Amino acid sequence: MYPAKFDYVAPSSLDEALKLLSESGGEAKILAGGHSLLPMMKLRLAQPATLIDLRNVPGLTEIKVDQNGISIGAMVTHAQIAASPEVQRALPMLSEAAHMVGDLQVRNRGTLGGSLAHADPAGDLPGVFLALDGEIVARGPNGERTIKASEFFVDILTTALEENEIVTQVRLPSLPPKTGTSYQKFEHPASHYALTGVAAVVTMGDGGVVQQIRVGVTGVGPKAYRAEGVEQALQGKGADGIAQAAEKAPDGIDCNDDIHASAEYRAHLARVFTRRALQAAIERAGG
């Protein structure tokens, strides 16, 4: 399948990219790894007049660690995240999840910024981003702003980004002591996309009870979401509360129903994989 005709530009600065994007009047698209955008163009689900490739824009490929956490440039690939010793040390769940994305070719091309901006309901990293309580740094014609993970995903393939904004960085806070994390995924056997993916971040308090918890779920509904029912049910409880809390994983979600899995099956997977992610996270937290 061939995409519709389009122009291609590869600006050498962020300002130039932003100018081109604004001047296109909504007809241009940012190109990062191209592993979601190009398939959509080939299926004619997207027909941008111009692709603005970020490959020559400096400053988007760094991983930086400081006392507050990690910031990752929008053009850092899944493979680079998976291989980064800094990420492995500070946020092992992100490294594990990046390693589970697609296959080697996909991981070598696909980027963190592209994955989050695309907001595929079956993408791995949106759920992890929610559970890690990160934030997006975006630049637009009026300057820079940050968008919290909890406000970023709006609907299927839709985010809080404006048409003329570019993601430059993803910031992720460091984890407090006695925190365990785990990403558990039931993947489609061909594409490796998540039929269900659950990311759990659990901090244990005194007496073996859960002090703080965040659970991000992907693959189940039209967008990645925080499983708030699960979080509330396990807050202040011990590991023996996991099974009961995990039952709430699909609560309030209009579960996807398609050729890959029925809504009922996805709800079941959400419960099972939430239980597994919570068990692993609490174990790693030493609880």
Ligand X SMILES: Cc1cc2nc3c(=O)[nH]c(=O)nc-3n(C[C@H](O)[C@H](O)[C@H](O)COP(=O)(O)OP(=O)(O)OC[C@H]3O[C@@H](n4cnc5c(N)ncnc54)[C@H](O)[C@@H]3O)c2cc1C
Show the tokens assigned to 132.
């890690």
Stretch that binds ligand X, among 11-19, 110-118, 140-148, 268-276 (CB under 6 A): 110-118
Among 17, 24, 33, 214, binds ligand X (CB under 6 A): 33
Contacts of 233 (CB under 8 A, 6+ apart): 241, 244, 245, 248
Token pair listed for 42: 């080939």
Q: Is 125 in the site for ligand X (CB under 6 A)?
A: yes
Binding span for ligand X by CB under 6 A among 29-37, 80-88, 240-248, 261-269:
29-37
Q: Is residue 28 within the footprint of ligand X (CB under 6 A)?
A: no
Interacting residues of 216 by C-beta distance below 8 A, sequence separation 6+:
126, 127, 128, 129, 130, 131, 132, 198, 199, 224, 225, 226, 227
Answer yes or no whether residue 120 interacts with ligand X by CB under 6 A.
yes
For residue 40, what are the CA distances in angstroms to 35, 37, 162? 9, 5, 20
Strand runs labelled E in 7-93: 7-9, 28-31, 50-53, 63-66, 69-73
Q: Considering beta carbons, is residue 69 or 114 the nearer one to ligand X?
A: 114
Using the rule CB under 6 A, is 192 a contact of ligand X?
yes
Question: Should residue 106 be labelled a site residue for ligand X when binding is judged by CB under 6 A?
Answer: yes
CB of 93 to ligand X, least distance (A): 14
Provide, rounded to whole angstroms, the least separation between the CB of residue 193 and ligand X. 4
- With respect to ligand X, which residue has the nearer C-beta, 46 or 65? 46
Query: Could you give the CA distance from residue 135 to residue 148 in angstroms, rounded to a whole number?
Result: 4
Tokens linked to 248: 């709430």
Of the candidate residues 18, 70, 74, 198, the single one contacting ligand X (CB under 6 A): 74
* Contacting ligand X within 151-190 (CB under 6 A): 166-167
Query: Does 96 help bind ligand X (rule: CB under 6 A)?
Result: no
Query: By rule CB under 6 A, what count of residues binds ligand X?
Result: 32
- Binding of ligand X by 98 (CB under 6 A): no
Largest CA distance in the chain: 63
Task: Out of 11, 18, 29, 84, name the contact with ligand X by CB under 6 A.
Answer: 29
- 173 closest CA partner among 198, 209, 149: 149
Site of interaction with ligand X (CB under 6 A): 29-37, 39, 54, 74, 101-102, 106, 109-111, 113-115, 117-118, 120, 123-125, 166-167, 191-193
